[in-house]
Amino acid sequence: MHIQYIDIKSEKNHYILMRKMVEILISLGEFGRGEKMSQVEVHVGKLCKVDKVKTEPIENWCKEYCQQNGLEHLEGFYDTWEECFRETQYKKYIIVNNNIYHIVEDREFTDCGDIFEAHENELGQIDYCLSYYNGGCGFSEAIEHALENMKTDRV
């Protein structure tokens, strides 16, 4: 790659430099990986409620799970075992309203607009369909919206 040094004393040269920087950043994508930073994500899948949590506090369940999966001590940047669990297991488990759900299946599709839907199937699992802009919310928040919508649909 050829690097050109530009004297930015004038506004015109400053504008040219900024434009070149923007072109380079666009061509590299997010951190040079060719990906967009934020985009619409569409997920369809199934959740299964973890019943074991009803018998003990979530913090204890999260601690036991983390320790069984190789994290013996709570790292300094996590304040609780629940926080550690949420941050490290977000692709496998979701915590919403003091319930833990295991992500049984998740498929990602192309852009379809905002959708936050969930319903219980005949096996007692929860089927979900999500479409959201990941610059505005994350997967956990989208699942939470879908589960809250499901709860209000029942009332």
Q: What is the 3-state secondary structure (H, E, C) of 92-140?
A: CEEEECCEEEEEEEEEEECCCCCEEEEEECCCCCEEEEEEEECCCCCHH
Contact 125, 107 (CB under 8 A): no
Contact (CB, 8 A) for 140 and 146: no
Q: Which residue has the tokens 């005949």?
A: 122
Residue 78 inside a domain? The answer is no
Domain-located, residue 3: yes
Which among 105, 106, 94, 110 has a CA at the least distance from the CA of 42? 110
Same domain for 46 and 122, yes or no, is yes
Claim to verify: residue 52 and residue 118 sit in the same structural domain: yes
Say what the pLDDT of residue 76 is.
Answer: 82
Are 22 and 95 part of one and the same domain? Answer: no
pTM: 0.56
**Tokens 């369909």 belong to which residue?**
129
Residue 30 has pLDDT above 80, yes or no: no
75 CB neighbour count, 10 Å cutoff: 11
pLDDT at 152: 63
Domain count, the chain: 2
User: Does the pLDDT at position 32 exceed 50?
Assistant: no
Whether 92 has a pLDDT exceeding 60, the answer reads yes
Same domain, 10 and 52: no
Domain around 19:
1-36
Q: Which residues lie below 8 Å from residue 93, measured CB to CB, with a gap of 6+?
A: 50, 85, 100, 101, 102, 103
Q: Do 50 and 123 fall into the same domain?
A: yes
Q: Are residues 31 and 93 in the same domain?
A: no
In this predicted structure, the answer to whether residue 93 has a pLDDT above a threshold of 90 is yes
Is 50 in the same domain as 2? Answer: no
Sequence-ordered list of residues with C-beta below 8 angstroms from that of 26, at least 6 positions apart, any chain: none
The CA distance from 89 to 73, in Å, is: 16
pLDDT for 54 equals 66
